[in-house]
Each structure stands twice: as C-alpha cells, then as structure tokens.
C-alpha cells in the first residue's frame, strides 16, 4: 500500500483523507489585556498587605516619628568635604521618600546622626606591574536616630557603598576622579540608609 493509500480511509464507499493532528488549525493564546495585568497587580498588593509583607524601605519611621532633623555627618576619613556630600544626599533621599518631614532641630521629634568612619581603597586593575589603572573606593558609615532626650530609636553600623575611578598620571586628576566616584556612591549610600531605617518598622 503506497503512502497515498495509507493516508486515505474508506467512508461510505469512497475515500477521504485521514485527519492528522498537524492538519488541524493551531489555536493561539491571546495576550493578557492591560486591565487583566492591572487587576493581578492589585490582587498581589492586597495579598501582600494582608499577610504583613512589604517591600524593602517601604515601612514607617522608627518610633512613628513624623519630623526629624539631620545633623551633618562626622567625617573620620581623610577625604575633605565628604561629610557635606553624604549629608546632603541623605536629606534629599528622605525628602523625596515622603516617609518623614526633614526639619530644624527645634521642631524635630528625633535627630538623625551619622559617622563616616572609613574610606577604603583597593586596586582593581593595573597598567603595568606596579602602576594602578583603576581603584575602588568603599565608604562605611554608622547611623543612628535618637529622641531629644537621648533614647535610641534605631541605629546601624557598617552601612557601605562602593564605586570605582580611574587613576591618572596627574595626582590632581586622580583626586577629581575619586571625588566623582564618591559623589556617585553617596546617592546609593543614602538610599541604603533609608531602606535600613524603615525596613524593619
């Protein structure tokens, strides 16, 4: 029996082709609509809230304080001016977050203080055996939140962030590259301070 005969079967005295699975039209699934996706996201959010879950940094301030003052961080490193850069980024990050109002000490319910206790550098790559081409810098801070009467509402040590920069032949240019790296990592450091401070409350 040839292939054509095998692919035919008798039907009321005649022959008709056998319907094979791959001869059937393919049913395609429609992509979910925007409304469906939105509804699913709402359900996930509602479920997370009911089960006590929340995203990092999405909690409330320790002690449920509404107004804080931020003192300029103490700088124990050899990098001049780093305390102003980090303090300003922390103020900006907390202001954008809207979890708390940043105000003066007279109106504050708590004070946020910090110490920049280390600025570590290490070589990442070399141009020659003893010539560094790129360095990494890591800034480490200790931060605490206290009430005017000295009660500690929250504190954490060893919060850090890193960045890299190119080492140039000129010392002044290398120092400028380092300052740019510090300015970049300072924003990430401020975010981590906010997340750590609000994640557990």
pLDDT tens digits along 141-199: 999 999 999 999 999 999 999 999 999 999 999 999 999 999 999 999 999 999 999 98
Q: Please, how many CA atoms are within 13 Å of residue 78, restricted to the half-sphere of its CB?
A: 5
DSSP 58: -
Q: What tokens appear for 71 in the block? A: 């003192």
SS3 of residue 110 by DSSP? strand
pLDDT at 48 over 80: no
SS3 of residue 75 by DSSP? strand
Contact (CB, 8 A) for 167 and 186: no
pTM of the model: 0.69
Distance CA 201, CA 50 (A): 16
pLDDT at 32: 53
Give how far Cα 2 sits from Cα of 8, 10, 42, 52, 102, Å: 10, 15, 61, 69, 87
Domain 62-199 has CATH 2.20.28.10: no
């Amino acid at each position: 029996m040839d292939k054509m005969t095998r692919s035919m079967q008798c039907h009321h005295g005649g022959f008709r082709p056998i319907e094979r699975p791959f001869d059937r039209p393919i049913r395609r699934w429609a992509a979910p609509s925007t409304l469906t996706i939105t509804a699913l996201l709402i359900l996930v959010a509602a479920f997370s809230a009911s089960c006590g879950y929340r995203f990092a940094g999405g909690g409330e301030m320790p002690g449920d304080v509404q107004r804080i003052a931020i003192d300029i961080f103490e700088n124990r490193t050899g990098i001049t001016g780093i305390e102003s850069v980090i303090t300003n980024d922390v103020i900006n990050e907390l202001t954008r977050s809207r979890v708390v109002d940043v105000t003066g000490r007279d109106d504050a319910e708590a004070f946020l203080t910090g110490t920049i206790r280390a600025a570590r550098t290490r070589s990442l790559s070399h141009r020659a055996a003893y010539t560094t081409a790129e360095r990494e810098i890591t800034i480490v801070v200790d931060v605490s939140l206290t009430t005017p009467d000295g009660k500690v509402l929250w504190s954490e040590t060893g919060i850090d962030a890193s960045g890299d920069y190119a080492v140039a032949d000129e010392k002044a240019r290398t120092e400028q590259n380092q300052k740019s790296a510090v300015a970049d990592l300072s924003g990430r450091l401020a975010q981590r301070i906010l997340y750590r401070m609000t994640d557990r409350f």
